[in-house]
Amino acid sequence: MAIVSLNDVTYTYPVTDTPALKNFSLQIEAGEFVAIIGANGAGKSTLCYTIAGFVPHFYKGELTGTVHVAGKETQTSSLSEWVTNVGLVFQNPFNQMSGSKYTVYEELAFGLENLGVPRAEMKQRLERVIEMTNISSLTDRSPYALSGGQQQRVALASILVMEPAVLVLDEPTSQLDPIGSREVFQVIKQMSQEGITVVLAEHKIEWVAEFADRLVALADGELLTSGTPQAVLTDPRLPEHNIVVSNYTTTARAAQAQQLWPAERPLPITLDQAVAGFSKGEMRSAN
C-alpha cells in the first residue's frame, strides 16, 4: 500500500478563485524518492504543503478529494498529529528556525526535546545527522549568524533528526552552490535508501535526473506526466509548459532534427549520457 496517496484532490487558497491543484491524484510507495517539477506557479509548493498537512490546516482554503499519509487522512487529523509522520523543509530556511535557541546544536535538539526523546538517544541522533549534513563546524554558532546556504543545511538537519516517515522538501538547494547541492542530494538519497520516503520540489533538473527514482511533472495545478527521470525529462510536452529540461536533452533533440542523433537512440538527460551518445560515432551528417 502507498504511504502517500492523493485521490482527486482540488485545492483553492483563501480569497482566490482559481484552484492551485486540480483533480490531482498521486500514489507514492514507501522509500521512494519522488521529485516534483514544473514551471513557477505550476503547484509544486502547494503539493508539498498538501502532503505535509499545511494544506488545509495552516493555509485554510477549500480542499476536496482525499489525502492519506502513513495511514492518516488529512481532514480528520490535526496538524500536530500529522507532523509526527511528515517533515517539511521550506524553501526559505529562515522561516524554519525556532527563534528560541542560541546555538545550532540547541536548534537541532529543539524538536526532540519537545517529544521527550531520552537524552542518550537524542545525542546519538544529533551526532549522526550533524555528520551526514556536514555541519559540525556550525554547531556552536547562532542559527542567525549563518549564511543562507548554511541555514538551509541546518533546516534540513533539524527535520532529518526527527526521523520522519515522509520527508517533504520545497526547493531545499535554492541557496546552495553546485557542490553544496550535490552534498544535500546525496544526504537525501541516503535517507531514501534507509527507508524514508522523499518528496522533493526542485528546479535543478540535473540533480533530480541523477538522484530521483521518479519524476512528477505539474502544469497549471494538474498532473502532466509521471515516470522515470528518463521518460519524463525527454517528454516533448515539457517545453510547451515552460518546464526546464537539461541542456543535454535540448542539444541532442536539436541534433536529432539535423539527423546527427539517431532517432532510435534515447535522448540524454545527464552529461554522461550525452558524452556517451555523441561519442558513438554513428551520427549521420545532415544533407
Rounded Cα distance between 205 and 131, Å, is 27
pLDDT of 282 reads: 53
Residue 54 has pLDDT above 60, yes or no: yes
3.30.565.10, 3.40.50.300, 3.30.1860.10, 3.90.550.10: CATH of 1-85+164-234? 3.40.50.300
Residue range 65-86: mean pLDDT, rounded: 90
Q: Across the chain, what does the average pLDDT equal?
A: 90
pLDDT of 59 reads: 93
Residue range 253-265: mean pLDDT, rounded: 91
pLDDT of 186 reads: 86
Residue 98 has pLDDT above 90, yes or no: no
pLDDT of 286 reads: 42
Residue 280 has pLDDT above 80, yes or no: no
Go through 220-241 and write b for each residue having 16 or more CB atoms within 10 A of its CB, e for each that does not: bbbbbbbeebbebbbbeebeeb
Domain boundaries of the chain, sorted by first residue: 1-85+164-234, 99-163, 246-287
Rounded Cα distance between 73 and 70, Å, is 9
Q: Cell numbers 526542485 label which residue? A: 202
pLDDT digits (tens, 9 = 90+) for 186-197: 888 888 888 899
The residue ranking higher by pLDDT, 61 or 285, is: 61
Residue range 63-75: mean pLDDT, rounded: 94
The residue ranking higher by pLDDT, 71 or 174, is: 71
The verdict on whether omega for the bond into residue 164 sits within 30 degrees of 0, i.e. cis, is: no
Residue 285 has pLDDT above 50, yes or no: no
Confidence grade of residue 90 (pLDDT, cut at 50, 70, 90):
confident
pLDDT of 114 reads: 85
Rounded Cα distance between 279 and 271, Å, is 12
Residue 224 has pLDDT above 60, yes or no: yes
Residue range 99-105: mean pLDDT, rounded: 87
Question: Within 10 A of 58 (CB to CB), how many other CB atoms are there?
Answer: 11
Are 128 and 162 spatial neighbours (Cβ–Cβ below 8 Å)? no
pLDDT digits (tens, 9 = 90+) for 120-144: 999 999 999 999 888 999 999 998 8
Are 240 and 39 spatial neighbours (Cβ–Cβ below 8 Å)? no
Are 90 and 96 spatial neighbours (Cβ–Cβ below 8 Å)? yes
